[in-house]
A and B are shown apart, each in its own frame.
Chain A
Amino acid sequence: MMTLKVNGQNHEIDADPDTPLLYVLRDDIKLNAAKFGCGLGQCGSCTVIVDGNAVLSCVTPLLLLEGKQVTTLEGLGTIEAPAPIQRAFMEEQAAQCGYCIAGMMMRAQALLQKNPKPSEEQIRAELEPHLCRCGTHMRILRAVHRAIRLMDTADASSATPRRAQ
């Protein structure tokens, strides 16, 4: 049994210490935003934020999360009150099939929390580990730029975990 902190809530988890975080999020806590893509840390669709850093949850065993704060996409905003990063992705219609988008948003969010004004090059470099098979890369990049503007005007601290809907 270990206590896992996700989106500000404590969860008592009964799983082996080498269980990937992604499995616990999806199967035990029923948070399905993070996706299983390759299971090898090569596509980025499972990305969540751990203590402010973008982390590939499919290759992150549970035991590494002792005492840490996990944030998933559900922790950023709700359907009624989406976070700036979510609004930006919706307004730019950045998702086609959408499978990669949660991961993209989480890494972009982690980047913007650390650096609110990244350059185009920095955004591209940061999102490099993420694959999108639909090819909406240009919209994704536009969405990140829109999120920068939204966060500039809105409350940039919307990353503080909220209760998932």
Chain B
Amino acid sequence: MTKSRMIASVLAALLIGGAVATFAIAWRPAIAAIEPPAPQSFDAALVKRGRDLAAIGNCNDCHTVRGGKDFAGGLPVPTPFGTIFSSNITPDAETGIGRWPEAAFRRAMRSGVNRDGQHLYPTFPYDHFTNVNDEDDRALYAYLMTRQPVRAPARENLLSFPLDQRVVIAGWKLLFLRRGTYQPDSMKSAEWNRGAYLVEGLAHCGSCHTPRNRLGAERASAQFAGGDVDNWHAYAINAQSPAPIPWDADALLAYLRDGWHPDHGVARGPMAQVVSNLSSVPESDIRAIATYMAGVFGAPTPDRKRRAEAVLAQAKSLSVRASKTNAVGASIYAAACATCHETRRPLPYGGVNLGLSTAISSPDPRNAINIVLSGVRPVEGERSPIMPGFAASMNDDQISALLNYLRARFSNQPAWTGVEKTIADARRTQAVFLQTSPGPYNAPADATQRDKP
């Protein structure tokens, strides 16, 4: 054997070996299709439990486009790697999951593989759903299979090579998909454990609130330290929380159930949909989530407590102070903001005192900017908080002056940097959003970047 032939055979062996290894890691069998089961074949109580679980999982948020049919998918989700479209999870036989047996649904939840054996992109948060138990998967399956089937073919993802090759996802899973990231803790109460199971699993809070690494996986070492979603900042919900008033279990329960809390303000941005869904599930589950998350936030230090008391006391005293250094910002605040935010009208119809606002104390100004630009739109058919947007009446310099004023007056944090650029970016995103919006829009409850590829 010549030397070159030897090299060739070694290379060939390596290639074949590599291919076999890749195949072993990546290949998943198809699960045989079934005739779509009749809705009547599912137990009504199981369907109802599935409905509550789907609300906790916030499934409709990604699997429904604005103005579209429930769970029919097609929502473009922008990621740093490209745009992924959500799938149709209605029981339509051709374009949905109508022919999926329960085992296929469970496999998708547990390991991110569809019925055909293809790997699913982790935009579908199976890194959390892997923790959902069989019983809950069964209830979710029963709920989804009894929805109205909608014919809506999948939209092609916008990804470039090699990320458009689903085999790549197998490698990602090898690195980042861990079963059993949630383990019950016998030292803790049943309620705490229930909360942990929901938060780490179906509720997938970390998907937004935990920062991600360069490969798009949650950084385990920075759990709940704050992340990004659709041009909004998902606040840190651990000890690093920027909330001026520390969160406790009672406040979390009220906020997650009602969508607002007098010491924290109203949920908006992508969180609005989350609390809207949570408002309809059994209180015991929300209480469990609140109990567990209160532990994640941790007890405030005596120093933090003192500061919180000072902020609360200040919020109760009405005084529009003149600013010598930022007269423009102060004047805009007095005319445009203080009429609601400093009148003692109770939440949620009065505005929160901005000294209590996490948006103003957050290290990231995006949420405050998004809200000033587009306001808080009312929820259709419900009593809900409302705030006008100011995109049409203020230019970037004026909004910048306002935000710098708010930051200086209502937080004890250093000034934001790069506010002007962030405003310009936010305005561009919203402009695109409004132009591409097909029908009635619901900004900013809707994520601003959604619906644009």
Contacts and interface: CB of A to CB of B under 8 A. Distances in A.
A110 to B, nearest CB: 9
Interface string B318-346: 00000000011011101110011000000
B328 A53 contact: no
Interface residues of A, number: 27
Contact of B392 (A16, A18, A20, A55): A55
A57 to B, nearest CB: 9
A48 B13 CA distance: 76
A59 B339 contact: yes
B398 interface: yes
A74 B392 CA distance: 21
Contacts of A41: 336, 339-340, 387-388
A121 B334 contact: no
Contacts of A20: 335
A42 B388 contact: yes
Contacts of B339: 39-41, 59
A contact face: mostly helix, strand, loop, or mixed: mixed
Interface string A118-155: 01011011001100000000000000000000000000
A95 interface: no
Contact of B393 (A18, A39, A53, A119): A53
B80 interface: no
Contacts of A19: 335
A55 B398 CA distance: 15
Contacts of A42: 386, 388
Contact of B377 (A18, A56, A64, A128): A128
B440 A61 contact: no
Given A40-B339, A53-B393, A18 B332 contact: yes
B122 interface: no
B439 A61 contact: no
A6 to B, nearest CB: 15
A17 interface: yes
Interface string A34-58: 0000011110000000100111100
Nearest to B328: A63
Contacts of B437: 125
A60 B328 contact: no
B441 interface: yes
A117 to B, nearest CB: 15
B331 A17 contact: yes
B394 interface: yes
A140 B336 CA distance: 28
B378 interface: yes
Given A125-B439, A128-B378, A61 B392 contact: no
Given A63-B328, A121-B439, A125-B440, A55 B335 contact: no
A129 B442 CA distance: 12
Nearest to A57: B393
Given A42-B386, A64-B393, A59 B331 contact: no
B361 to A, nearest CB: 24
Contact of A63 (B331, B438, B439): B331
A42 B332 CA distance: 17
Given A40-B339, A128-B378, A64 B392 contact: no
Contacts of B394: 64
A119 B328 CA distance: 39
Given A42-B388, A121-B439, A61 B378 contact: no
Interface in A86-119: 119
A161 B238 CA distance: 56
A50 B394 CA distance: 11
A39 B337 CA distance: 11
B334 A18 contact: yes
B329 to A, nearest CB: 10
A16 B335 CA distance: 10
Nearest to A59: B336
A124 B440 contact: yes
A41 B337 CA distance: 10
B327 A17 contact: yes
Given A42-B388, A129-B388, A60 B440 contact: no
Interface in B386-418: 386-388, 390, 392-394, 398
Interface of A: 16-20, 39-42, 50, 53-56, 59-64, 119, 121-122, 124-125, 128-129
23 contacts: A17-B327, A18-B330, A18-B331, A40-B339, A41-B336, A42-B386, A50-B392, A50-B393, A53-B392, A56-B388, A56-B393, A59-B335, A59-B336, A59-B339, A59-B388, A60-B335, A61-B334, A61-B336, A63-B332, A64-B332, A64-B393, A121-B67, A125-B441
What 3 pairs between A and B have smallest CB-CB spacing?
A: A61-B335, A41-B388, A53-B392
Given A18-B331, A18-B334, A129-B388, 17 more contacts: A40-B340, A41-B336, A42-B388, A50-B392, A53-B393, A59-B336, A60-B336, A63-B328, A63-B331, A64-B394, A64-B398, A119-B439, A121-B67, A121-B438, A125-B437, A125-B440, A128-B377
